[in-house]
Structure 1
Amino acid sequence: MDVSLPPEDLQNIFDALPDVVFFIKDTGCRYTHVNLTLLRRLGLRNREELIGRTAAQVFPERLGGTYLMQDQRVLDGEVIENQLELHLYANRAAGWCLTFKRPLMGGQAVAGLIGISRDLGMPDSRHSSFTRLQRALEHMQSNYGAPLRVQTLADIAGVSVAQLERLFKRVFQLTPQQLLTKLRIEEAMRLLHTDVNIAGIGQACGFSDQSAFARQFKATVGIPPRDYRALVRGSHAQRPRPPQARSGRAG
């Protein structure tokens, strides 16, 4: 039985999910279908304002070009699964999400791409393992600038490494490594609003060298640290603010 839905029906379904961005793009990386969440976060009123445009045309220049390059990789056949990203929108503070993108096939050829970005929410504090995982999280929050072994976190939580990985995804929606990356990038963003030099920021946030810091920052935020600093200094009206660090939450 064919249970596939037309793009318009998918769009209407995702309209009801305020914590999920949904989109379909054609082979020119132009939006063909979007949900209301994406419109609102871009400060737009009608889908017609976004349909037919690329990410490079609706996001700040430094970000839009990077998002466009990611779309091209997907059109070339790459599948993006569960990628931790920090999205910067014109009308809101930075927001953490998990992104999924895959090519859309039309017969034997790629006809476009489809994707969602799901906001990270509050951790599941009612889970039976929350308290022990909270101890591991607090250790990460206090020591993100130093090398951290997953085994050490597992020992603090009193579970095996395999259990730690499974429980972190269940409670925090992230793996331990993703959560550590999130903590490090949040602190790096905060420091990039200051005059601390970029090499020093990378070292303070636990990266082995400046190139490793730049690669991880770009993979997560969409632009290199230097461009992020220029972005936040270049427009006071639309300045993307780093997420507020909050004890005990993953997003």
Structure 2
Amino acid sequence: MPTDIPADQLQGLFDDVPDIVFFVKDVDGRYSHANHTLVRRLRLKKRSDVIGKRVTELFPLGMADSYAAQDQRVLGGDRIDRYLEVHVVDNLTAGWCLTSKRPLIVGGRICGLIGISRDLRSPDGMDQAYGKLQRVMAHMHEHFAEDIRVGELAKLAGFSVAQLERHFRRVFQITPHQALTKIRIEAVMRQLRGTMPIGMIGLASGFPDQSSFARRFKAVVGVSPGTYRALCAKGESPSDCLLDGPRY
């Protein structure tokens, strides 16, 4: 790690933030820094169990593949901003987080990447727009299998589209589109623990076709719908389905 990057100080700072995973990786995708939150959520004991390893050595099949693909994009110069995805939280249940990653640039060249994944917090129920946004959320929960337009949601709340987006980000930390994706994916995860055919689950959850459904589910959860169903066949919790699955 270049000495002019204060990653050690950032790592120490984020050690005291239990709802944020902090990490730095080199150009080969190996961890050079990781806060204690990441170590704990991987069910490891010390930071040295993470440093020097790639995601394929730490995360189960599927999740590792998804994270590695993200890393390659960032190491190629892209940025990932507030990407909504499923991760594992401290009580070993599957939870939601917003992930941001940036190329680490020193001397004009990319020498790695730096990122955080922040747990999605409970909404701010004291916000003056909360009541109107709750009506929007209730509508999405009731009609998530239908074709819902943001303009329709804005009208329901009495906001313009721009106002709705702004209030949603402030109260729920996510956009209306991300909220709808979250609702749909949660519905799919519940139904995959049953016997309904996977293609029917996607259509019943508001996805237009099986291809887009499978692609979106894997991008958010880290494994395909079929793999998720297979890993959950033993009746374990969603986190166990993800964490205790096959590893590379």
What's the TM-score once normalised by structure 1's chain length? 0.89
Which residue pairs with 1:21 in the alignment?
21
CA shift, 1:206, in A, is 0.2
Q: Which runs of 5+ in 1 are unaligned?
A: 243-251
Spell out the pairing of 1:65-80 with structure 2 (5 A cutoff): 65-80=65-80
CA shift, 1:193, in A, is 1.1
Spell out the pairing of 1:106-117 with structure 2 (5 A cutoff): 106-117=106-117
Spell out the pairing of 1:203-222 with structure 2 (5 A cutoff): 203-222=203-222
Structure 2 CA distance, aligned partners of 1:121 and 1:241? 23
Q: Which runs of 5+ in 2 are unaligned?
A: 243-248
Specify whether residues 88 and 196 from structure 1 end up closer, same or farther in structure 2 by C-alpha distance, changes over 3 A only: farther
Which residue pairs with 1:247 in the alignment?
none
CA shift, 1:236, in A, is 4.5
Structure 2 CA distance, aligned partners of 1:164 and 1:183? 18
Residue 37 (structure 2) pairs with residue 54 (structure 1): no
Deviations 1:111-164 (A, max 9, x none): 111000011011000001111111111001100011111121112111111111
What's the TM-score once normalised by structure 2's chain length? 0.91
Spell out the pairing of 1:117-136 with structure 2 (5 A cutoff): 117-136=117-136
Show structure 1 runs of 4+ deviating over 2 A: 88-91, 230-242
Which residue pairs with 2:37 in the alignment?
37
Residues 54-63 or 86-95, more deviating = 86-95
Which residue pairs with 1:169 in the alignment?
169
Residues 202-211 or 230-239, more deviating = 230-239
Structure 1 CA distance, aligned partners of 2:236 and 2:86? 20
- Secondary structure of the equivalent of 2:112? strand
Residues 101-110 or 90-99, more deviating = 90-99
Deviations 1:24-65 (A, max 9, x none): 011111111000111111111110111111111111122212
Specify whether residues 241 and 105 from structure 1 end up closer, same or farther in structure 2 by C-alpha distance, changes over 3 A only: same
| RMSD over equivalenced CA pairs, Å | 2.0
Which residue pairs with 1:178 in the alignment?
178
Structure 2 CA distance, aligned partners of 1:51 and 1:235? 33
Structure 1 CA distance, aligned partners of 2:172 and 2:238? 30
Specify whether residues 241 and 158 from structure 1 end up closer, same or farther in structure 2 by C-alpha distance, changes over 3 A only: farther
Which residue pairs with 1:147 in the alignment?
147
